[in-house]
Amino acid sequence: MPSIQSNVYVWREIPVIRKPTSDQRLILEGETRDFRHMEVHATTLPARQAPHPAHKHDDEELIIVKEGELTVTIEGKAKTLGPGSVALMLPGDEHGFENKGNTPVTYYVMRYASREPVDLERGHKAGGSFWIDWKDVAFTPHDKGGIRRMFDRATAMTKRFEMHVTTLNQGLWSHPPHTHRAAEILLMVVNHSQESIDGKLYPATTGDLIFLESNVPHALQNTSQGTCTYFAFQFE
């Protein structure tokens, strides 16, 4: 399987795959330094539809709601989540998704399997599968804009998985170009930016995904009129 390249994956350029109950966009798929397989896709569900019955699998899964409201069921417990909300399902936990509303819902799906042996005990000790409702996450302002801290914990597939949402003021860089051991994904949710990847600049706008492999130099600048907002999550 090919390695996933550090790049901006542009929403409007990704083909739509029509399925019986949903539309899908395969954003990226391959291997990384820490994952023998990783896939990110986006699913759009019409009103009153589910993509498939509740199920379980051997890899781990993260979802982020892009638009609309998605009802997530994990091990028999259900929660309806709006835009910006996330859920993470450990291997072996039964889960399902459904659009119970009257308008479409779109959500990102990240599925991944580690190169190292799966550590279910570590994942359960850290709290197991979970969801986070965007409405429950506090916004903390700072000198460059502000931050929402989503989670920072171990999982069955990762020694550490950290996610936050940054709001960056007009014209500013998030920080100077830098590197770190963890791979990182950035997901633009409001307005646009440019990402420096190994010294080259790439534009990114709402819906686009930026993948940054371990130790690749990178930095992001807000190129919008007004603030921009993006998810940032690191994993190793």
Write out the two tokens for 114. Answer: 């580690």
Stretch 186-191: mean pLDDT: 97
pLDDT digit string (tens) for 104-149? 999 999 999 999 999 999 999 999 999 999 999 999 999 999 999 9
Nearest Cα to 34, choosing from 72, 66, 3? 3
In the block, residue with structure tokens 């308008």 = 103
pLDDT of residue 1: 84
SS3 105: strand
pLDDT of residue 31: 98
What are the strands of the beta sheet with 218-222, ordered from one edge?
200-204, 193-197, 218-222
Secondary structure of 25-63 as H, E, C letters: EEEEEEECCCEEEEEEEEEEECCCECCCCCECCCCEEEE
CA dist 107 and 89 (Å) reads: 15
Asked whether the predicted pLDDT for residue 16 surpasses 90, the reply is yes
pLDDT digit string (tens) for 195-226? 999 999 999 999 999 999 999 999 999 999 99
Contact 134, 64 (CB under 8 A): no
Stretch 179-192: mean pLDDT: 97
Q: What is the mean pLDDT of the chain?
A: 97
| Domains defined along the chain, listed by start | 7-119 (2.60.120.10), 136-235 (2.60.120.10)
SS3 70: strand
Confidence of residue 82 (pLDDT cuts 50, 70, 90): very high
* Environment class of 50 (CB within 10 Å of its CB; exposed 0-12, middle 13-18, buried 19+): middle
